[in-house]
Amino acid sequence: MRKLLTLALVLLILLSLTGTMFAAPAPIKLRLSEVHIAGYPTTLADQEFARLVKEKTNGRIEIEVYYGGTLYGSEPEAIEAMIMGELGFARVSVSPVSDFVPELNAVQMPYLYKSSEHMWAVLNGRVGQDMLNKVQASGSGLIGLCWYDAGSRCFYLTKSARTPKDLAGLKIRVQDSKLMVRMIELLGATPVTGIGPNDIYASIMSGVIDGAENNWPTYHTKGDYKAAKYYILDHHTRVPEILLASELALKKAGVTAKDLEIIKECAKATQEFEIAEWKKMEKNSEAAVRADGTIVIELTPAEQQLYRDAMAPLYEEFGKPYQDVIDAINSVGRLF
Ligand code: BDP
Question: Whole-angstrom Cα distance, residue 155 to residue 153?
Answer: 7
Give the C-alpha separation, 201 to 209, whole Å: 9
Cα(197) to ligand 1 centroid in Å equals: 6
Q: Is 256 helix (H, G, I), strand (E, B) or coil?
A: coil
- What kind and span of H or E run contains 142? strand 142-148
Q: Is 35 in the pocket of ligand 1 (CB under 6 A)?
A: yes
pLDDT, tens digit, 9 for 90 and up, residues 210-259: 999 999 999 999 999 999 999 999 999 999 999 999 999 999 999 999 99
pLDDT in the model for residue 16: 60
Task: Tell me how far apart the alpha carbons of residues 253 and 286 are, in angstroms, rounded to a whole number.
Answer: 42
Instruction: Give ranges for CATH 3.40.190.170 in the chain.
Output: 27-100+139-150+239-284, 153-238+286-333
Nearest CA to ligand 1 atom 13: 197
State the sign of the Cα–Cα–Cα–Cα dihedral 54, 57, 58, 61: negative
Mutational pocket test of ligand 1: of 42, 46, 75, the residue with most ligand atoms within 8 Å of the beta carbon: 75
- The pLDDT assigned to 25 comes to 86
Q: What is the pLDDT of residues 281-315, one digit of tens each?
A: 999 999 999 999 999 999 999 999 999 999 999 99
Residue 329: the pLDDT is 98
Superfamily (CATH H level) for 153-238+286-333: Bacterial extracellular solute-binding protein, family 7 (3.40.190.170)
Lowest mean pLDDT among 17-26, 129-138, 175-184, 327-336: 17-26
Q: Domain 27-100+139-150+239-284 is classified in which CATH homologous superfamily?
A: Bacterial extracellular solute-binding protein, family 7 (3.40.190.170)
Contact 65, 47 (CB under 8 A): yes
Nearest atom within ligand 1 for CA of residue 213:
11
Please say if the pLDDT value at position 7 is more than 90: no
> Per this entry, what is the length of the chain?
336
**pLDDT tens for residues 48-93?**
999 999 999 999 999 999 999 999 999 999 999 999 999 999 999 9
Q: Is the CB of 166 under 6 A from ligand 1?
A: no
Give the residue whose CA is nearest to atom 6 of ligand 1.
197
